[in-house]
Amino acid sequence: MINRSVFCVLLSGVSAFGIPTMARAQLDGLPQSDQTAYPRGQEIIVTARRREENLQDVPVSITALGPAALERSTIQSVQDIGTIAPGLRYGAEGGKTSATVSLRGLSQTPLGAGTPGVVQYFADIPLPSEGSNIPTYDLGSIQVLKGPQGTLFGRNTLGGAILITPQAPEREFGGYVEATYGRFDYKELEAAINIPLGDIGAFRAAGQIRRQDGRTKNFEGGPDFDNIHQDSFRLSLLLEPFEGFSNTTIFDWYEGDERAGGLYLYRNNPGVVPGLSTILDPQIQSALSTQRQNFYGAFQGETNGGIAYSKSWGITNRTTLELGKFTLRNIFGYRKSRQEQLINSGAVPSLLLPNGAPFTLFSAASLNDRKYLTNETQVLAEFGRVEAIVGAFYGNDKPNGPSGSGFKAFSAVAAPRPAVSIHYVNRNYAVFGQVNVPITERLSLDLGGRYSWDEVTSCGGAIPGGYADYATCQEVANRGLPTDGVGIVGTKSEEPSWTIALNYQLTDDVLLYGTTRRGYRAASVNTPLFESAFTTGGVAPGCGFTTPPATGQCPDLRPFQSTGKEILTDYEIGFKSKFRLGTATGRFNIAAFYNDYKDALQFLNVLGTGIPQQGVPDAPNRTAIAANAADIAIYGIELDASVSPSPELTVFFNAAFTKSEIKKIVLPPLQGFAFSEGSITLPTPDFSGTIGVNWILPFRPADSDLVFNSDLYMTDDFGGQNGERLPGYVLANARLDWKDIGRSGLDLGFYVKNLFGERYFSSPSILGLPLPIASLYTGDPRTWGVSARFAF
């Protein structure tokens, strides 16, 4: 509420630049030349409808940044994108190497093989959530599309899509070299070179090296957490041997060899562990006291700083052939990805038992080695003013080596870590199409449809010898042993989705639109195969919170072996405008939406069901399952605006107001699990917004521009886990650049991120459960840096 109040005060101040007169300027009968007078430098080109169009002409709610805005911004990683797009949030529930993205109240559970609620694309290729923390150097644009997608391209989604496009090769020689140094001994070297290849094409190479010391102190004297150690490069080849034909091939490579994110010990829940609380609680309280005196610090437990390793490489090929009224396009992608993590998820040091033996509360390990193949074919057509696209999509991702997870809970440090192999094979097929039909000179109709077929097969379980590869897992599963927890499970689903929209161009600078879309997320599975007495409702040692060898009633997880599909129908109306009033120019966009979300998935930890925490051969992956839990209504309003009183000054602001209501609980009964409306996790905050300024200062040292950029991002409380929310926060960022000094091609810059040193939490690790602790990821502290960039 405080954040919204601050935002409204700032917004009212900004309005003095001319927003109140905007509607009058639009509709008071300006000459045609004035109505369309909008400086080209302020136009933002987007590709949401698979064609290059002005942002203001597209009847979709979009946030977009071009190359100039990206260069001026303080974006250093994909997580930073959340501060420029209202309603978008990046989380790290799945660990440092993977991003969990939420938009308009839609997200993904941090486990399993399900399609993300918001799909991230790189060079038109959909990325998996695992290993999606890709570098953000040498980019051409970032576009955030809101609402269900799929009738125009790519994967079907519920909440939206994020399109990250690398800088394309150009027909002129040039490039740049940039070096940055900052707090925590941050060092970054980035470079790119563009080489024309005569009349047939161009070649571009770019790369980046990033290093930073750990910014979270290790309380136990080991290596500090949250360091940066990343290397990446990209090669792009454009071939245009004859008119109407274009082929672009991109090879990208990335490796991040880092320590884990340090986890903040948020609280202690005394008396939770039967028989051990009197021993463990005082030690946890002591650790909690240390934590509260040192916000940017963490305990390592048995992990020695932990592991956050990520390596990926990919090949993308995009071929376009123009044939009169038709354009043929094919987009092929192949990617390999490997992530390894070791996290002290309990956020406490190794505890001591009465006999002096070290004891682990919680720690988590995982290994994911996968390969992905996608191919998309499109046919675009223009018949006068009628524009159409039809296409087909195929995706296949599968194991590429040993993979699995190991969750250690209430265990002696010396005990071996459980290793549960986990493998998924996903196949996705779809056909889609959309047509834009003019009804009058200013009114048009969009009709789009898609039909998707999805199947997932999983093999997993505790296989002796550690993480097994897929072939070994299949071999063990085919033995058919009834209680080893190793087996093959799978499910299929299919569903139509659609888009219907009316677009009315009120004037050349004012667009009104209304749309309804249906989105779909495929069914998935929980692993491993639930077959032992521990997971099928039998009686076994340790179940029902008993202490072995005593026996108790175990939960029956078989109804949750697979999830059902999710369906979302949205309704959106929007107003987009650009204006010119005297020397002032700007834009003002507003959209209102309503989502009818059926069978929403939730992340359910099963430790509260009475299942033992050790020795269960078919314990759920990461002690959790995904389940269709509720029908939810999500609705809100989004604003996106900018005003330039003069060519030297631009003030921009955006905001998202989002509310969610639980309409019905659909979760089947589960022993020991008390689920209610208060247990539903709603990831998106009720409010988030950004106000910023771009100002070319009125003096020019060495005949060169000084450019100041600043933004203030605010968010309300946002979703954590199990219905509990994390507190909101305010972040301020600023950057000052001295451009093209003395026309030498040299730029010097200085930036500050989190200017006011806000202490905040970015994501949950363990939260809202009947467990001894709660642990969270902290956001970055104040950082600063200086940079030098030479363009040639």
HEC-encoded secondary structure of 276-323: CHHHHHHHHHHHHHHHHHCCCEECCCCCCCCEEEEEEEEEEEEEEEEE
Burial letters 278-317, b for 16+ CB under 10 A, else e = eebbebbeebbeebeeeebbbbbbbbebbbbbbbbbbebb
pLDDT at 19 (0 to 100): 40
**Mean pLDDT in residue range 709-729:** 91
**Per-residue pLDDT, 274:** 65
Domain count, the chain: 1
The tokens for 132 are 């999606």
- In this predicted structure, what is the pLDDT of residue 408? 86
pLDDT at 295 over 50: yes
pLDDT at 613 over 50: yes
Sheet holding 263-268, edge to edge: 263-268, 773-778, 761-766
For residues 621-650, average pLDDT: 92
Residue 417 has a pLDDT of 85
Q: In terms of C-beta density within 10 A (0-12 exposed, 13-18 middle, 19 or more buried), how is residue 693 classed?
A: middle
**pLDDT confidence tier of residue 25, bands split at 50, 70 and 90:** very low
Selection from 600, 638, 605 nearest residue 622 by Cα: 605
Q: What tokens appear for 270 in the block?
A: 């005394």
At 671, the pLDDT band (50, 70, 90 cuts) reads confident
Closest CA to 704 of 606, 574, 791, 611: 791
Whether the pLDDT of residue 561 is over 50: the answer is yes
User: In angstroms, rounded to a whole number, what is the distance separating the alpha carbons of residues 719 and 102?
Assistant: 10
Given this model, what pLDDT does residue 416 score? Answer: 84
Give me the pLDDT at residue 8, please.
Answer: 52
Residue 110 has pLDDT above 70, yes or no: no
Q: Which amino acid is present at 10?
A: L
Which of the pair, 276 or 629, is modelled with greater confidence?
629
User: What is the rounded distance in angstroms from the CA atom of residue 351 to the CA atom of residue 273?
Assistant: 14
Residue among 9, 196, 141 nearest 691 (CA): 9
Q: What pLDDT was estimated at residue 4?
A: 55
Q: What's the CA gap between 180 and 189, in Å, rounded?
A: 7
Kindly tell me if the per-residue pLDDT of 13 is higher than 50.
Answer: no
Please report the pLDDT score of residue 24 as a whole number.
Answer: 32
Q: What confidence tier does 30 reach under pLDDT thresholds 50, 70, 90? A: very low
| Other C-beta atoms lying within 10 Å of the C-beta of residue 10 | 16
User: Under DSSP, is residue 35 helix (H, G, I), strand (E, B) or coil?
Assistant: helix
pLDDT reading at 112 higher than 80 = no
pLDDT over threshold 70, residue 650: yes
Residue 53 exposed, middle or buried by CB count within 10 Å (0-12, 13-18, 19+): middle
| Helix (H) or strand (E) run with residue 10 in it | helix 2-14
Q: Which residue has the higher pLDDT, 101 or 245?
A: 245
For 609, residues 6+ apart whose C-beta sits below 8 A from its C-beta are 555, 670, 671, 672, 673
Q: What does the buried/exposed string (b/e) look like for 405-422 if buried means 16 or more CB atoms within 10 Å of the residue's CB?
A: bbbbbbbeeeeebbbbbb
Q: Which tokens belong to 773?
A: 């602790």
Has residue 513 got a pLDDT over 70?
Answer: yes
Residue 496's DSSP bridge partners are: 451
Token reading at 754: 């989190």
Average pLDDT over residues 465-478: 93
Report the candidate in 113, 106, 76 with the shortest Cα–Cα distance to residue 89: 106
Q: pLDDT above 70 covers what percent of the chain?
A: 93
Q: What is the Cα 647 distance to its own chain's centre?
A: 34
pLDDT of residue 342: 95
Res. 113 pLDDT band, cuts 50 70 90: low
Separation between Cα atoms, residue 378 and residue 380, nearest integer Å: 6
Give me the pLDDT at residue 36, please.
31
Q: CB 760: neighbour CB atoms within 10 A?
A: 18
**What CA–CA distances, in Å, run from 238 to 12, 121, 139, 198?**
48, 20, 16, 11
- How many helices (H) and strands (E) the chain has is answered by 6, 42
Instruction: Report the range of poorest mean pLDDT among 35-44, 332-341, 370-379.
Output: 35-44
What CATH number is associated with residue 48?
A: 2.40.170.20
Kindly state the average pLDDT of the residues 176-198.
98
Inter-residue contact 47 to 142 (CB < 8 Å):
no
Length of the chain in terms of residues written: 792
What is the model's pLDDT at position 7? Answer: 52
Distances (CA, A) of 52 to 57, 127, 320, 327, 328: 10, 22, 14, 14, 16
User: pTM for this one?
Assistant: 0.91
Residue 54 CA to residue 49 CA, distance in Å, equals 11
Q: Residue 109: which pLDDT band, with cuts at 50, 70 and 90?
A: low
Percentage of the chain surpassing pLDDT 90? Answer: 66
Question: Hey, which residues does 632 pair with through a beta bridge?
Answer: 597, 662
Strand ranges, E, within 344-482: 351-352, 358-383, 386-399, 404-412, 420-438, 443-461
pLDDT tens digits, residue range 374-383?
A: 999 999 999 9
The pLDDT value recorded for residue 81 is 85
Q: Report residue 263 as tokens.
A: 């986890």
Centre a 10 Å sphere on the Cβ of residue 271 and count the other Cβ atoms it contains.
10
Residue with the bigger pLDDT between 22 and 158: it is 158
Mean pLDDT of 82-90: 83
Could you tell me the CA-to-CA distances from 443 to 71, 561, 612 in Å, in that order? 37, 49, 63
Mean pLDDT across the chain: 89
Radius of gyration of the chain (CA): 27
**Residue 37: pLDDT band by 50, 70, 90 thresholds?**
very low
Whether the pLDDT of residue 31 is over 70: the answer is: no
**43 falls in which pLDDT band (50, 70, 90)?**
low
Q: Answer whether the bond into residue 358 is a cis peptide, omega within 30°.
A: no
Q: Is the pLDDT confidence value at 659 over 80?
A: yes
pLDDT higher than threshold 80 for residue 691:
yes
Does 52 have pLDDT greater than 90?
no
Residue 777 CA to residue 783 CA, distance in Å, equals: 17
Reported as a single tens digit per residue, the pLDDT across 539-550 is 999 888 787 888
Residue 278 has pLDDT above 70, yes or no: yes
Q: How far apart are CA 654 and CA 590, in angstroms?
A: 9
Pairing mode of beta strands 297-298, 217-218 = parallel
pLDDT at residue 29 above 60? Answer: no
Question: pLDDT category, 370, cuts 50, 70, 90?
Answer: very high
What does the alpha-carbon distance between residue 592 and residue 453 come to, in Å, rounded to a whole number? 31
Cβ atoms of 146 and 103 within 8 Å: the answer is yes
The answer to whether 512 and 506 are in contact (CB under 8 A) is: yes
Lowest-pLDDT choice from 248-262, 613-627, 629-643: 613-627
The whole domain housing 507 covers: 2-791
Residue with token string 């030297």:
648
Neighbours of 26 (CB within 10 A): 20
